[in-house]
Amino acid sequence: MRTPVTAASRARNRGMCVYGAACRFSLFARRFLRMLSALRMKRLLSIIISLGILVVLYWKIDFGKLLPVFRASDPMWMALSLAMVVPLTLFTSWRLQQLMPRTGQLGFGEANRLILVASVLNLVLPSKMGDIAKAYFMQDRGQLPGSLALSLVVFEKACDMLSLLLWCAFGLAWMKLSGAFALAAFTSPAWLARFGIAGDAFFFWVSALIVGGSLMLGLLLLGSENFAHFFFRLAARFAPGKIGAKFAKFDASWSEMHAYFWASKARLAKVTLTSVFIWFLHLLQIWMFILALRAYAPFLANLALSPLAILAGLLPLTFAGVGTRDAALFIFYAPFFPAPTAAALGLLCTARYVLPALGGLPFAGPYLTAAKARKAVDAAS
């Protein structure tokens, strides 16, 4: 005989669900805030590395030659190129809206605020990991449950990275077809000749292996749920301590993300094509920077070289990519303009990240205050 469901039992069940969701949210919040604290010392080290690389670069080019490059720049092209951060932010916000399920609709204004606040955190966290903070803020404001919010942001990040790697693959193919002048960036240092490493072949094929392997791995992780399970379980088994535990938990979130996004092929195609187009706009902005500095590189060459420089800046070694990205610009654009112009281009590329962060500062306060308030509530409970 079926036991009748009373109003009291329904209320009790709802209470248990709410309590369980609150516990999961509290755990997510504590882990995220602990991660921010742990990264402070790493960030200090990355700033020191960035400054060290910049000192070496500017010492080699004579810092005094940098200011004349900016004085001679074209004001109209400079204004247009810097203003490109606006459509880039708008398109990125629109993509975030497209990722949302109908049950957790995100307004265009709120999406822009999330993107701008993430830009602020990207100056503090390595490899643009500030984007992951969007999951916390969306959960905090009740727009999505925690696991789906994390899955959504991870998918957005994966599409971003794969789109950049696609452009990098194009860049490497262009360099190989262009011949010696483009491949000069991969020429081995003279001291490596004693180990049998000379010419450009070794470093070019190492780069091609890294880019092609990363692109293939990302496509397999997104395209095959079985491969993703195998990869994360293997990583959890061999990774040390807490890192292995994170891989094991990430496996479940990835499965939820995989099921959600492959349920709609139209949404998947829309988000993928939008990600590739957004990166095209990033590369177009860098070409506009070059024109603003009254220098020149063929548009196709810029589409090939700039993504490789951006990828170098994503290495989690320096502050917001400063240093590694500048060095890559020096090397890759050497056939087209002198080192002082490349140094100026590096500063403008850094401005691409600083300007959205400045725009996000007025909105960062309320988001971070809410996070601290949640932490205080969790500590008191």
What pLDDT is stored for residue 268 in this prediction?
86
Tokens of 147: 């696991």
126-159 b/e (C-beta count within 10 Å ≥ 16 → b): bbbbbbbbbbbbbbbeebbbbbbbbbbbbbbbbb
∠303-88-321 over CA atoms, to 5°?
65
Q: CB within 8 A of 221, min separation 6: which ones?
A: 158, 227, 228, 231, 254
What pLDDT is stored for residue 19 in this prediction?
39
- Given a contact cutoff of 8 angstroms between Cβ atoms, the answer to whether 334 and 341 are in contact is no
CA dihedral 181, 184, 186, 190 (to 10 degrees): 160
What pLDDT is stored for residue 147 in this prediction?
66
Backbone region of residue 323 per phi and psi (left: phi > 0; alpha: psi in -120 to 50; beta: other values): left
How far lies 45's CA from each of 16, 33, 42, 48, 121, in Å? 45, 20, 5, 5, 17
Q: Dihedrals φ, ψ of 157, to 5°?
A: -65, -40
Establish how many alpha carbons lie within 13 A of residue 243's alpha carbon, considering only the half-sphere containing its beta carbon.
Answer: 6
What pLDDT is stored for residue 307 in this prediction?
94
Report the 10 Å Cβ neighbour count for 247: 19
Rg of the chain over CA atoms, in angstroms?
Answer: 23
For residue 166, the Cα-to-chain-centroid distance in whole angstroms is 15
0.85 exceeded by pTM? no
176 residue type, one letter: K
What pLDDT is stored for residue 372 in this prediction?
65
Question: Which is nearest to 326 in space by CA: 92, 117, 79, 66?
Answer: 66
Q: How far apart are CA 124 and CA 118, in angstroms?
A: 10
What pLDDT is stored for residue 7 in this prediction?
45
pLDDT in tens, the chain (381 residues): 445 545 445 444 444 443 344 444 445 445 554 554 555 666 667 677 767 777 777 777 777 788 899 999 999 999 999 999 999 999 999 998 888 876 557 888 888 988 998 888 887 766 566 777 777 777 766 566 666 777 788 888 889 999 999 999 999 999 888 877 777 777 765 545 555 565 567 778 888 999 999 999 999 988 888 898 888 888 888 777 777 777 777 777 777 778 877 888 888 889 999 999 999 999 999 999 999 999 999 999 999 999 999 998 887 666 666 778 888 898 889 889 898 999 899 999 989 988 998 998 888 877 777 666 655 555 555
Backbone region of residue 330 per phi and psi (left: phi > 0; alpha: psi in -120 to 50; beta: other values): alpha
What pLDDT is stored for residue 121 in this prediction?
83
How far lies 326's CA from each of 117, 191, 323, 346, 348, in Å? 25, 23, 5, 5, 10
Q: How far apart are CA 151 and CA 157, in angstroms?
A: 10
What pLDDT is stored for residue 14 in this prediction?
43
Q: Where are the domains of the chain?
A: 7-380
99 residue type, one letter: L
What pLDDT is stored for residue 157 in this prediction?
86
Q: How far apart are CA 283 and CA 127, in angstroms?
A: 18
